[in-house]
């Protein structure tokens, strides 16, 4: 019995020793830098997001405002941005398709909404593109009944908002990766 306990103790001690050796190898992504260089939070706050360039009162303008607002909150948090060092140019297109049809009415009972986005990060000092990428989002939503047109409109709008949030999350993650790794 004591031999088994000794083996377990030795194994736990070995695991603890390995954990202690690797503890200094990792640095949290959003940690402040000890050497005085700007941290990730400051770099993200230097990204300028241009205003909406779509026609006023259009569905595309509302989606672009939603993406812009979500992205600004993810990059800046509750603060406002710092003096810009980079500009993010965003272009997107939307899709909408019916997934399931009601067999009696031949009207859709579930639809799919998607956003395909292309983004380009431009360094303002050199006015050159330093990173480009694409992302997409697909969300589905149910249509509660053909006679409930307001519920259908609200479900569609919620799908747009969820998709815009996912696009903003994907872009923010990619920007954070770029500023940490440099590629």
For residue 24, tell me if it sits in a domain. no
Q: How is residue 32 annotated by DSSP?
A: P
* Structural domain of 70: 39-181
Mark 137-172 as b/e (b = at least 16 C-beta within 10 Å).
Answer: bebebebeeeeeeeebeebbbebbbbbbbbbbebbb
pTM: predicted TM-score of the whole model, two decimal places? 0.78
Q: Examine residue 32 and state whether it is found in any structural domain, yes or no.
A: no
> Is 104 contained in some domain?
yes
* CATH number of the CATH domain containing 103: 3.30.160.150
Residue 3 lies in a domain: no
How do the pLDDT tens digits run along the chain, 183 residues long?
A: 577 888 888 888 888 877 777 766 666 666 666 666 677 888 888 899 988 777 787 888 899 999 999 999 998 887 676 789 999 999 999 998 877 777 777 677 788 899 999 999 999 999 999 999 999 999 988 887 767 778 888 989 999 999 999 999 999 999 999 988 876
* Tally of domains within the chain: 1
Domain membership flag for residue 83: yes
């Amino acid at each position: 019995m004591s031999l088994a306990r000794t083996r377990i103790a030795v194994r736990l001690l070995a695991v603890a020793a390995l954990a202690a050796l690797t503890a200094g190898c990792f640095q949290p992504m959003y940690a402040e830098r000890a050497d005085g260089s700007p941290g990730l939070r400051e770099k993200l706050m230097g990204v300028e997001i241009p205003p909406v360039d779509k026609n006023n009162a259009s569905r595309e303008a509302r989606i672009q405002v939603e993406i812009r607002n979500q992205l600004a909150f993810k990059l800046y948090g509750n603060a406002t941005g710092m003096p810009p060092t980079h500009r993010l140019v965003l272009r997107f297109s939307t899709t909408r398709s019916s997934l399931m049809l009601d067999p009696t009415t031949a009207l859709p009972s579930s639809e799919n909404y998607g956003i395909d986005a292309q983004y380009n990060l431009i360094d303002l000092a050199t006015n050159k593109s330093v990173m480009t990428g694409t992302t997409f989002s697909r969300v589905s939503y149910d249509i509660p009944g053909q006679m409930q047109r307001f519920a259908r409109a609200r479900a569609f709008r919620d799908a747009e908002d969820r998709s815009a949030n996912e696009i903003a999350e994907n872009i923010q993650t990619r920007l954070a990766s770029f500023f940490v790794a440099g590629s």
